[in-house]
Chain A
Amino acid sequence: EIVMTQSPATLSVSPGERATLSCKASQSLSSNLAWYQQKPGQAPRLLIYGASTRATGIPARFSGSGSGTEFTLTISSLQSEDFAVYYCQQHNNWPLTFGGGTKVEVK
């Protein structure tokens, strides 16, 4: 099983600042990595797939990068609606696995 490790567990950021979230895989994923955003009481929402392609309707302030085992989600200028939990997920091997999540909170 591929283990996905996200860091940090919690990120405190002021509105308007940049947020950088990390996701590391225990084996190479090529670019088969997705990012999701989840707000309290809601289902997750796909943000990024293929490591760097924004899903439909996702603002340009969200960007993904990386390949192999190291990936990054960057939110260039945090808006109030961006404070949430973010998960990475690999879809390169079975079983599909998620990282433990990074909570982005208001500083």
Chain B
Amino acid sequence: EVQLVESGGGLVQAGGSLRLSCAASGFTFSTYSMNWVRQAPGKGLEWVSYISVSSSTIHYSDSVKGRFTISRDNARNSLFLQMNSLRDEDTAVYYCAGVGTRFDYWGQGTLVTVST
């Protein structure tokens, strides 16, 4: 069974940093590209970032470019999102999602709350 388990969310002050993690199991993580998708409270879905299998191709939404960094560790079956210079509008549930550019698998999400 495919499992994606996010962690690392929490309450942070505006301007602060958080690092999210996603532990993958039940599939060959090292052969699939992955994404982060977020959902602000009561709002729709917003794609955040994509990383290819070898980390050679990375994309970000304009709203996080220059502040967030996606990475992965295929040996540890893990995906990461380093979030710096956090803003109020970054408050959301962050989902780890794969595979490729459509999202067959989703984690349960981790809530990030940015206080001003």
A interface residues (Cβ-Cβ under 8 A, vs B): 1, 32, 34, 36, 38, 43-46, 49, 55, 87, 89, 91, 94-101
Contacts and interface: CB of A to CB of B under 8 A. Distances in A.
A43 B109 contact: yes
Contact of A95 (B45, B61, B103): B61
Contacts of A101: 44-45
A34 B95 CA distance: 17
Contact of A44 (B60, B61, B103): B103
Given A34-B102, A49-B102, 12 more contacts: A36-B45, A44-B45, A45-B106, A46-B103, A91-B101, A95-B47, A95-B59, A95-B60, A96-B101, A97-B47, A98-B46, A98-B47
Contacts of A95: 47, 59-62
Interface of B: 35, 44-47, 50, 59-62, 95, 100-104, 106-109
Q: Is the contact region of chain A dominated by helix, strand, or loop, or is it mixed?
A: loop
Nearest to B47: A96
B68 to A, nearest CB: 13
A6 to B, nearest CB: 9
Interface-centre pick from A44, A45, A49, A55 (highest chain B CB count, 10 A): A44
Given A44-B45, A96-B47, A98-B45, A89 B102 contact: yes
Contact of B104 (A1, A38, A46, A94): A46
A36 B62 contact: no
Contacts of A89: 45, 47, 102-103
Contacts of B35: 96
Interface-centre pick from A36, A43, A45 (highest chain B CB count, 10 A): A43
7 contacts: A43-B106, A46-B102, A46-B103, A91-B102, A95-B59, A96-B50, A96-B101
Nearest to B109: A43
Nearest to B65: A95
A20 to B, nearest CB: 20
